[in-house]
Amino acid sequence: MTIEWKDADNVAAQVGEVFMIKMFANLGAGTSVRLGLMGKGVTPNYQVEKNGELRGHFRGTSHKVWSGDAKEFDSNRISDPFAHEDLMAAFLRQYRKPRGTPLAYD
């Protein structure tokens, strides 16, 4: 099964709040991340880059450094890069409401 990561908002919605928080711990300002395209997209492996240089491969289930075969990260198995700043903005839109936002009543 191949996953299509459309944009940062799609990533945030697909992987969930807890995954995003743990992934951010491995990112930093100016970095980008490429997500795995295999599986169901719930806990994808990911690759962190800065200025086009590889900073590390990470296991999606534990967010620890990937110790397996690097072929899991070849260009056919990972997404295009998503900028840290875009992912953070999507995370805030998806999971954090601004203070003073009225509650929605059904």
Tens place of pLDDT for every residue, the chain, 106 residues?
678 999 999 999 999 999 999 999 999 999 999 999 988 889 999 999 999 899 999 999 999 999 888 888 888 899 999 999 999 999 999 998 766 666 666 5
Residue where the block lists tokens 């711990």: 25
Dist CA 81 CA 14 (whole Å): 16
Alpha helices (H) along 16-83: 17-24
By three-state DSSP, how is residue 46 classified?
A: strand
Alpha helices (H) along the chain: 8-15, 17-24, 84-95
Neighbour tally for 39: CB within 10 Å: 13
Residue type, position 43, single letter: T
- The whole-number pLDDT of residue 7 equals 97
